[in-house]
């Protein structure tokens, strides 16, 4: 029996929803360990579509326990709205199947406003955030002034905590010529919803320890991808948290020995939302074709994704950084109609060939991809469930990809449907 961490090995949007849905059907417990409501999973179960943002994917399945860990930043109003939306589709959500860490930090209205103010004033230097207040909330967490779930228990404590955080934010707002944020209405709004949030609140680290003792299978799911990690991504065009697999331990309060298998969700080409370096980006008809066939629009924001060839250099790098044991290769069928398919196997940095993405953003923007070309298969892979039935050129592409990234392909997705998957290795076994 294994506990599994699922991470995106690129810039997010790798198709985690379908894979996580299948894994959550195998798991007993599903825990979110970082991020906020800025990234989502789309699940389709019995022809019903669920678009989850904060709630773990296990919530739509019976007899599963879903956890929102201390590493997640929670917009309490967005969470309650999502719970209401899920309930309207016949899904039960109560204190027995949803647990929120008492240590989780809250996203408040002034965080969202600060996110918008910064993005609007940044001009060409904007990061391309989702403007949902994620970054400013994490800043307050690190600055030791944030409001946590546990702070909703006491009105006097909440009043003091709000006073502290607003001293900081209002000083910045004044400097930017914005109106100061008033405390009293926000406090009353929080107290009004406090009972609805607190009923799910528990010490997650303690519950996970109990689940481990009971030998329950735990699935840890993150948001975004490793290339958006605040330390290991294309900084500063990154998210505000650590998206690597080891964050599953710190983001939920369990030991690293809890993690037995790391699955990297990996798209058969590459996409990115927002600003920042993208060495293999295609700004031509092929890029448009990938975007159109792959329906490359964000689950949460509906923003159009930038598309490009598979970047083997980046995926190999994220595999090493995150300790990925196997990859789930998604959206293979999107490549079906292409006559030629390319894979980036190195970079040219001002005449020098390198085999990794440098840390400096200036260099990341300068690197030019060095490609290896493959003959396309120009045949339908959509719906295939047996590796041997794939077109020969598709098998060649997968095997060479596997060899280059130095990690096995554990499954291959050949359509958005959960059943259309070639399972090579079950991460839980």
Give the active site residues. 13, 41
Q: Please spell the DSSP secondary structure of 237-260, one letter per residue.
A: SS-SS--STTHHHHTTT--GGG--
Q: Report the greatest alpha carbon distance in the chain.
A: 68
Asked if residues 54 and 36 have their Cβ atoms less than 8 Å apart, the reply is yes
Nearest residue to 130 (alpha-carbon basis) of 295, 265, 302: 302
Cα torsion 262, 267, 270, 274: sign: negative
Structure tokens at 157: 């404590």
Cα torsion 53, 233, 11, 287: sign: positive
**β-strand partners of 98:** 66
Structure tokens at 266: 């990996």
Alpha helices in 39-122 (DSSP H): 76-87, 109-122
Angle (CA) 239 244 245, round 5°? 145
Cα torsion 368, 371, 376, 380: sign: negative
The Cα–Cα gap between 166 and 162 comes to 6
Chain CA centroid to CA 263, Å: 13
Contacts for 400 with CB less than 8 Å, ≥ 6 apart: 343, 372, 374
The Cα–Cα gap between 31 and 322 comes to 18
Nearest residue to 245 (alpha-carbon basis) of 313, 311, 139, 320: 320
The Cα–Cα gap between 99 and 68 comes to 6
DSSP helix/strand/coil, 350: coil
Q: Is 94 exposed, middle or buried (0-12, 13-18, 19+ CB in 10 A)?
A: exposed
Query: Between β-strands 408-413 and 326-330, what pairing exists: parallel, antiparallel or unpaired?
Result: parallel
């Amino acid at each position: 029996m294994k506990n599994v961490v699922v991470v995106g090995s690129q810039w997010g949007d790798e198709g985690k929803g379908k894979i996580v849905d299948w894994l959550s059907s195998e798991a007993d417990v599903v825990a979110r360990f970082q991020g906020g409501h800025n990234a989502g999973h789309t699940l389709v179960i019995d022809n019903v579509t669920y678009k989850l943002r904060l709630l773990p994917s296990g919530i739509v399945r019976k007899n599963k326990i879903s956890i929102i860990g201390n590493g997640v930043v929670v917009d309490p109003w967005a969470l309650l709205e999502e719970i209401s939306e899920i309930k309207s589709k016949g899904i039960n959500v109560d204190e027995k199947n949803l647990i929120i860490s008492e240590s989780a930090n809250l996203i408040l209205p002034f965080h969202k406003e600060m996110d918008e103010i910064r993005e609007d004033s940044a001009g060409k230097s904007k990061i391309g955030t989702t403007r949902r207040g994620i970054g400013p909330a994490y800043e307050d967490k690190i600055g030791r002034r944030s409001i946590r779930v546990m702070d909703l228990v006491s009105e006097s404590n909440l009043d003091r905590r709000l006073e502290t955080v607003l001293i900081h934010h209002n000083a910045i707002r004044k400097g930017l010529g914005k109106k100061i944020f008033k405390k009293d209405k926000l406090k009353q709004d929080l107290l009004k919803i406090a009972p609805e949030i607190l009923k799910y609140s528990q010490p997650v680290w303690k519950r996970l320890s109990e689940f481990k003792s009971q030998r329950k299978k735990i699935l840890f799911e993150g948001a975004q991808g490793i290339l958006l990690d605040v330390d290991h991504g294309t900084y500063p065009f990154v998210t505000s948290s650590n998206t690597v697999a080891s964050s599953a331990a710190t983001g939920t309060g369990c030991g690293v020995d809890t993690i037995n298998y790391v699955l990297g969700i990996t798209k058969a080409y590459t996409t990115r939302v927002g600003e920042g370096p993208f060495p293999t980006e295609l700004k031509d008809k092929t890029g448009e074709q990938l975007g159109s066939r792959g329906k490359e629009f964000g689950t949460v924001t509906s923003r159009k994704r930038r598309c490009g060839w598979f970047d083997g250099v980046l995926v190999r790098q994220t595999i090493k950084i995150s300790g990925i044991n196997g990859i789930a290769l998604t959206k293979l069928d999107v490549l079906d109609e292409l006559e030629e398919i390319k894979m980036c196997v190195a970079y040219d940095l001002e005449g020098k060939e390198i085999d990794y993405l440098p840390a400096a953003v200036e260099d990341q923007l300068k690197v030019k991809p060095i490609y290896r070309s493959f003959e396309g298969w120009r045949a339908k892979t959509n719906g295939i469930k047996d590796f041997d039935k794939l077109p020969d050129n598709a098998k060649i592409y997968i095997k060479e990809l596997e060899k280059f990234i130095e990690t096995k392909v554990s499954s291959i997705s050949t359509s958005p449907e959960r059943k259309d998957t070639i399972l090579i290795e079950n991460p839980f076994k």
